[in-house]
Amino acid sequence: MNKTLNHKAWVFVLPVVVFVAFNAIIPLMTVVNFSVQESFGDNVFFWAGMRWFEQVLHSERFHAALLRQLLFTGIVLAIQIPLGLAIALAMPRRGPWVSVCLVFMALPLLIPWNVVGAMWNIFALPDIGFLGKLINALGFHYNYTRQPLGAWFTVVLMDVWHWTSLVTLLCYAGLVAIPDAYYQAAKIDGAGRWAVFRHIQLPKLKHVLTIAVLLRFMDSFMIYTEVVVLTGGGPGNATTFLSIDLVKMALGQFDLGPAAAMSLIYFLVIMFSSWLFYTLMMRKEER
């Protein structure tokens, strides 16, 4: 093979390289830089090696935050994926109600995250919020600012409200793309509602669902703004997820070294999990 080498091509790639460097590589390298050194300010640094990583990996505080994070993401995925899919299945395929449903579903996605937090903060207050009052009126003692369980319930409910729409819209797009002939053939073959779901809709939605799980996994694993505005990570540390813990460490205590090490671990966990999930889903495809 005779490949022409044309170094001029680099000139065209350069703008992108510069752009990516500024918005990703350079900040990331700064973090790497912090994670292996100790600093007392004034730009004075001492080499720390892997010390911060060891410290973070052995710290109970990190374990607890990671555990809370995994639990939260697990719960949120377990609710949002089936619920989003169910709503998508219930939405009309054609007719005037399609646009109404779509707009209605898209609304929560359009609200800024800190506003979502603020909304739910007031909405769920036991003395003045509608939700808080309602739950108490039903005979349950509920106060999310005091009860860890109440706080978890509120945070999960808020995230479900905010993000289930994304799963629904993705699934709906996938469902609409299935040609009518499949449903007609299934009808003729005598397939029931469950068989249609199991053998036509679910297989055809596989890729869309993979994307939905990936997006929801990454987003929920990085959740910050809404929870900070709603509970501030409390009561106590009950809803202090990884990102909140990270900010506390970096900006609250100004422990830049451990915080940098923690963000790198955090980043690697998300990347590895996503990669693992994606590879597993796609490998099944090839068989």
Partner 1 sequence: MAKISIRDLRHSYVAKPTREDDWALKRISLECRDGGAYALLGPSGCGKTTLLSLISGLLRPTEGRIFFDERDVTEATPEKRNIAQVFQFPVIYDTMSIHDNLAFPLRNRGIEKPEVERRVGEIAKLLELDKVLDRRAAGLTADGKQKISLGRGLVRTDVNVIMFDEPLTVIDPHLKWELRSKLKELHHRTRRTMIYVTHDQTEALTFAEQVVVMKDGLIVQIGTPVELFERPRHTFVGHFIGSPGMNVLPCEIKSGQAFIGEHAVKTVEGRPSGNKHLELGVRPEFVSFTATGLPVDVIKVSDAGRFRIVETKHAPHTIKLLVPEGTEIPASAAHVHFDPAHTQVYEEGWMIA
Query: Count of alpha carbons within 13 Å of 188, Cβ hemisphere only?
Result: 6
Q: By CB under 8 A, which span of 44-52, 103-111, 176-184, 237-245 interacts with partner 1?
A: 176-184
- For the record, the structure tokens of 61 come out as 């505080």
Q: Which of 8, 96, 188, 283 binds partner 1 (CB under 8 A)?
A: 188
* Residue 190 in contact with partner 1, rule: CB under 8 A: yes
Q: How far is the CB of 210 from partner 1 (least distance, A)?
A: 15
Query: 29 to 68, contacts with partner 1 by CB under 8 A?
Result: none
In whole angstroms, how far apart are CA 273 and each of 22, 221, 262, 283? 26, 11, 16, 15
Q: How far is the CB of 204 from partner 1 (least distance, A)?
A: 8
Q: Which residue, 116 or 186, is less far from partner 1 as judged by CB?
A: 186
Q: How far is the CB of 190 from partner 1 (least distance, A)?
A: 4
Q: Which of 23, 184, 253, 279 binds partner 1 (CB under 8 A)?
A: 184
Q: Which of 179, 193, 236, 283 binds partner 1 (CB under 8 A)?
A: 179
Q: Which of 192, 193, 236, 283 binds partner 1 (CB under 8 A)?
A: 192
Long-range CB contacts (< 8 A, 24+ apart) of 197-204? 197/89, 201/89, 201/175, 204/174, 204/175, 204/177, 204/178
Q: Among candidates 213, 235, 232, 216, which has minimal Cα distance to 224?
A: 232
Q: By CB under 8 A, which span of 48-56, 77-85, 198-206, 274-282 interacts with partner 1?
A: 198-206
Distance CA 239, CA 196 (A): 41
Number of residues forming the site for partner 1 (CB under 8 A): 16
Q: What is the helix (H) or strand (E) element at residue 211, kind and residue range?
A: helix 206-221
Is the distance from CB of 144 to CB of 233 less than 8 angstroms?
no
Query: 225 to 244, contacts with partner 1 by CB under 8 A?
Result: none
Distance CA 56, CA 67 (A): 14
Binding-site ranges for partner 1 (CB under 8 A):
179, 181-182, 184-185, 187-192, 195, 199-200, 203-204
